[in-house]
């Protein structure tokens, strides 16, 4: 499988944010997207996820068969806001996602255990700390399989131990042929990554 981005341009509110971006990411490898605030890292991830329309160029997901025939179909998108309802419990949120996403790999409890949270399933998501919320959002990636992980500042709010645990989970995803594109200001603890430096507007 391969993610192929060609001559991509992105705009927000009708204003250009970036243009002329091309890269490929192969199965088993990760691309780190870096650059100053406002450079367009989140915009790039949202275009790949199919949440924004590109101003120009194209994004393709190759070799994924009928099931993963577009980047949007092939991807988990971990955005800044975690995509959980604060009034629902952690278990209710994850159960919703498992029914919505399918391709279930493990139970809610197993996914929570993998992020070191076995005792919060009954709590409203809104009661959790910032780092615990991030870990529940990461549990969603583990519970339902998608080959492409699009991660926007994935370690934001995580303590050292959780960062290390997440690095291990990302390495596992890559080892089984997954792909990762991560916008980050921090090292993620992965080896042999490519880097795309986005310059931003002068
Ligand atoms: N909905 C929107 N409408 C108009 N402009 C927007 C919108 N969302 C983002 N922008 C602008 O698009 C530009 C790129 O934003 P983006 O969030 O992609 O940057 P980023 O590189 O992810 O930044 P950061 O490192 O701060 O997360 C910024 O100038 C931002 O103000």
CA of 40 to the centre of ligand 1 (A): 6
Q: From the alpha carbon of 183, which atom of ligand 1 is closest? A: 22
- In DSSP notation, 143-194 reads HB--SEEEEESTTTT--HHHHHHHHHHHHHHHHTT-EEEEE-SS--S-SS-E
pLDDT-based confidence at 200, cuts 50/70/90?
low
Residue 9 CB partners (closer than 8 Å, separation 6+) = 16, 18, 19, 20, 21, 54, 55, 56, 57
Q: From the alpha carbon of 46, which atom of ligand 1 is closest? A: 18
Nearest CA to ligand 1 atom 9: 12
pLDDT of residue 201: 59
What is the ipTM, given to two decimal places?
0.95
pLDDT tens-place string over residues 129-187:
999 999 999 999 999 999 999 999 999 999 999 999 999 999 999 999 999 999 998 88
Nearest CA to ligand 1 atom 25: 37
CA of 39 to the centre of ligand 1 (A): 7
Nearest CA to ligand 1 atom 3: 13
pLDDT tens-place string over residues 3-42:
999 999 999 999 999 999 999 999 999 999 999 999 999 9
The CATH architecture of the domain made up of 2-197 is: 3-Layer(aba) Sandwich (3.40)
Pocket test for ligand 1, best of 40, 153, 154 (most atoms within 8 A of CB): 40
Pocket test for ligand 1, best of 36, 38, 154 (most atoms within 8 A of CB): 38
Q: Which residue has the tokens 């500042």?
A: 153
pLDDT tens-place string over residues 77-115:
999 999 999 999 999 999 999 999 999 999 999 999 999
């Amino acid at each position: 499988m391969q993610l192929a981005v060609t001559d991509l341009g992105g705009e927000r509110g009708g204003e250009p944010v970036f243009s002329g971006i091309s890269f490929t990411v192969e199965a088993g490898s990760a691309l780190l997207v870096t650059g100053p605030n406002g450079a367009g890292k989140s915009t790039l991830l949202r275009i790949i996820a199919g949440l924004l329309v590109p101003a120009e160029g194209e994004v393709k997901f190759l070799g994924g068969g009928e099931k993963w025939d577009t980047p949007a179909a092939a991807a988990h998108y971990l955005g800044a806001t975690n995509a959980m309802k604060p009034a629902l419990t952690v278990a209710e949120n994850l159960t919703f996602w498992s029914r919505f996403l399918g391709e279930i790999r493990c139970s809610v409890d197993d996914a929570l255990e993998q992020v070191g949270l076995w005792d919060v399933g009954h709590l409203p998501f809104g009661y959790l700390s910032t780092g615990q919320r991030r870990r529940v959002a990461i549990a969603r990636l583990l519970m339902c399989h998608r080959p492409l992980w699009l991660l926007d500042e994935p370690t934001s709010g995580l303590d050292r131990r959780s960062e290390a645990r997440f690095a291990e989970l990302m390495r596992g995803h890559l080892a089984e042929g997954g792909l990762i594109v991560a916008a980050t200001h921090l090292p993620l603890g992965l080896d042999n990554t490519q880097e795309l430096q986005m310059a931003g507007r002068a």
